[in-house]
Amino acid sequence: MYALKQRISPALERLKAFYEAHEPACTAGFFAAGFLFDVTAVGRIDRLHNILHQGLYLTLSGFFTGLELRERFGNFSPPKRFAAAWRYHKGATHFMLGTLLNIYTMFYFKSASLSVSFFFLAFLALLLLVNELKPFKEHGTTLRMTLFSLCLVSYFTYLVPLLAGRIGALPFAGSIAAASACAAALVWRLNRRLPEHAAAVRRNLVYPFGAVASLFSLLYFFRLIPPVPLSLSEIGIYHKVERRGASFLLTSTRPRWKFWQRGDQVFLARPGDAVYCWVAVFAPADFTERLAVRWISLAAGAGEKADEIPLGIEGGRDGGWRGYTVKARYSPGPWRVEIVTSDGRELGRIGLEIVPDGSGATRRARVLTR
């Protein structure tokens, strides 16, 4: 045992020295590791262990950052036996926040366009960069509290609708209220510990949380927040959709080499053809929602809503609730189909081009099973 300890101790010392020499890069690495770890670890949004796991990470992140603020003003010093471990609390906090932000990025932007997801991730990377720049070093606690506030609001934004079994303005207001109550509890505790530094508590916690909560409310008002906990699992355009027992048969005439298209997005229309839009929407168990499928003709350039077809869904199925709408009356040209929730937020969309097909040639159709 003694020999083993002798071999391990130098390695630990080298790791410690490396961390101290490259702390900014290591902290950013912990943050990135949180993203990579949760890509494989996260499961369904309504799994109890996932909800508890996120709650634990939020609690620890708020606790560590609160202690960091107290340490800055001389109100806290770690016990001797934990002093060495406390040296790495920033890296641990970044790892947990990275994990949480990865979860919420996937939840919020699963049905969004790649450009939206990319810019959100770029924004998070910018926050990390700013946090490690020397001019902002003294504001590191503020930035960590901002990330914590973002995670806290995101957590309740999906948890309250999940518990309510529906989305809408009232569940969203409940989400903001629940997150505000947690933030207020942390502010109250810090004010008790730091009675002479109330201004610092406001600057480091109240203002960042207020900014995040206000931003979320503004984005919800403009219907820019994706409607979690719903997510669009699949969407496609087909020449025919039939239900056969527990399965659906999707008929496509798309050549195999156009693998990037989702069904017949270039729809070769012959007399009598109807356009089918197939969707699979994930919703948690005991969750109900009434979607609307908007068919929008873009032939005039500005976009004109032609039809809005209701589509009720029920949650619980791992692969998502499956259904389709049919459009028999249409005109050639570009179209867009939008899947919209009852409170007017877009869940997903797909574009298509309807092209008249007068060739009379035999069409090769493939039938997919879902």
Give the CA distances from residue 206 to residues 76, 155, 188, 197, 348, in Å, rounded to whole numbers and listed in that order: 21, 18, 11, 13, 34
Give the CA distances from residue 356 to residues 3, 104, 306, 359, 364, in Å, rounded to whole numbers and listed in that order: 80, 43, 19, 9, 17
Average pLDDT, whole number, for the chain?
A: 80
Confidence band for 5, pLDDT divided at 50, 70 and 90? very low
For residue 328, give the DSSP letter.
-
Structure tokens at 61: 């992140």
Identify the residue with better confidence: 363 or 309. Answer: 309
Q: Which helix (H) or strand (E) holds 251?
A: strand 247-252
Provide the pLDDT for residue 114.
Answer: 47
Judged by average pLDDT, the poorest of 12-16, 148-152, 165-169, 205-209 is 12-16
Identify the residue with better confidence: 231 or 21. Answer: 231
Structure tokens at 369: 């099973």
Q: For tokens 């979607």, name the residue.
A: 291
Provide the pLDDT for residue 139.
Answer: 55
How many C-beta atoms lie closer than 10 Å to residue 7's C-beta? 8
Mean pLDDT, residues 26-51: 66
Confidence band for 2, pLDDT divided at 50, 70 and 90? very low
Reply yes or no on domain 231-369 having CATH 2.60.40.1930.
yes
Whether the pLDDT of residue 40 is over 70: the answer is no
DSSP 337-357: EEEE-TTS-EEEEEEEEEEE-
Q: Which helix (H) or strand (E) holds 305?
A: strand 304-314
Q: Which helix (H) or strand (E) holds 49?
A: helix 48-72
Q: pLDDT (tens digit, 9 = 90+) per residue, 15-25? A: 667 766 766 66
Task: Provide the Cα torsion 111, 114, 119, 123; round to 10°.
Answer: 60
Provide the pLDDT for residue 115.
Answer: 45
Mean pLDDT, residues 123-131: 58
Strand order in the sheet with 321-327: 231-238, 275-282, 321-327
Judged by average pLDDT, the poorest of 29-43, 79-93, 142-156, 299-313 is 29-43
Q: For tokens 């949480």, name the residue.
A: 100
Burial group, residue 15, by CB count within 10 angstroms (0-12, 13-18, 19+): exposed
pTM of the model: 0.78
Q: For tokens 């960042």, name the residue.
A: 208
Whether the pLDDT of residue 323 is over 80: the answer is yes
3 state SS of 97: helix
DSSP 147-197: HHHHHHHHHHHHHHHHHHTS-SHHHHHHHHHHHHHHHHHHHHHHHHH-GGG
Residues of the chain with CATH 2.60.40.1930: 231-369
Omega of the bond leading into 195 within 30 degrees of 0 (cis): no
Confidence band for 244, pLDDT divided at 50, 70 and 90? confident
